[in-house]
Amino acid sequence: MLEIQALSKHFVSGRGHISALTDISFSVEQGKGVILAGRSGSGKTTLLNCIGALEVPDSGAVVYNGVNICTLSPRQRTLFRRCEVGFVFQAGNLLPWLTVAENLQFPLELNDIRGTAQQRRIEELLATFSLAGYEQALPAELSGGESQRIAFARAIAHQPALLLADEPTASLDSSNGRQLMELMFSLCRTQGTILVIATHDQELMAMTDTVMALKDGRMEKKP
């Protein structure tokens, strides 16, 4: 269970004091998905970063399974991300000097999944995302759709409890984007993963019942 409680975050920049998030609260159950919708600059990415322990909010709490991750030390937050979170960023988030297999190996190594278990998991992921035979390909040799499929495969490789995706279909055509997201929703339901997607893609919003609309860092509609 993921609970966001009265989350607020502001930044100070050359433009002055910017409220990125103001009093955001909602909760998501295991195996469910939620979409954070809103225009660019509405606070979607900041909210994802707070949920994924990449950033610490100024106030409020992100409670996962009873633990407020905002109170963890930097090292504990890193280990939380390592074990519990899978990230899918916008285009270009594969490590360019690692092959497809090595990119998938990375989160498995971080989580001490090695040897035959590691090999089996990589093969399983490649088969699930229809990328068998691409093991030795470098990211530069893949199409945008293939790269994003690998990014999803890498994000769920270590079977995280939370999958966070920031504009995951931005670089894909609508057909590829829909197929990939259907696969993701299905996998998350099967594995009990909480899926949080930040997007302004209308098609994606139709794929889940829970859409959180953000505007200027404030929530427009409660789930």
Residues that bind other proteins (CB under 8 A): 45, 49, 52, 54-55, 74-75, 78-79, 81-83, 85, 87, 89, 92-93, 95-98, 102, 106-107, 109-111, 114, 138
CA angle 65–120–131, rounded 5-degree value:
95
Provide DSSP, 156-205: HTT--SEEEEESTTTTS-HHHHHHHHHHHHHHHHHHT-EEEEEE--HHHH
β-bridge pairing 211-215 and 33-37: parallel
Give the nearer residue to other proteins in terms of CB position, either 112 or 173.
Answer: 112
β-bridge pairing 194-199 and 33-37: parallel
The least distance separating other proteins from the CB of residue 64, rounded to whole angstroms, comes to 15
Give the nearer residue to other proteins in terms of CB position, either 113 or 181.
Answer: 113
How many other β-carbons are positioned within 10 Å of the β-carbon of residue 67?
14
The least distance separating other proteins from the CB of residue 165, rounded to whole angstroms, comes to 13
Give the nearer residue to other proteins in terms of CB position, either 139 or 211.
Answer: 139
- AA identity, residue 198: A
Give the nearer residue to other proteins in terms of CB position, either 107 or 168.
Answer: 107
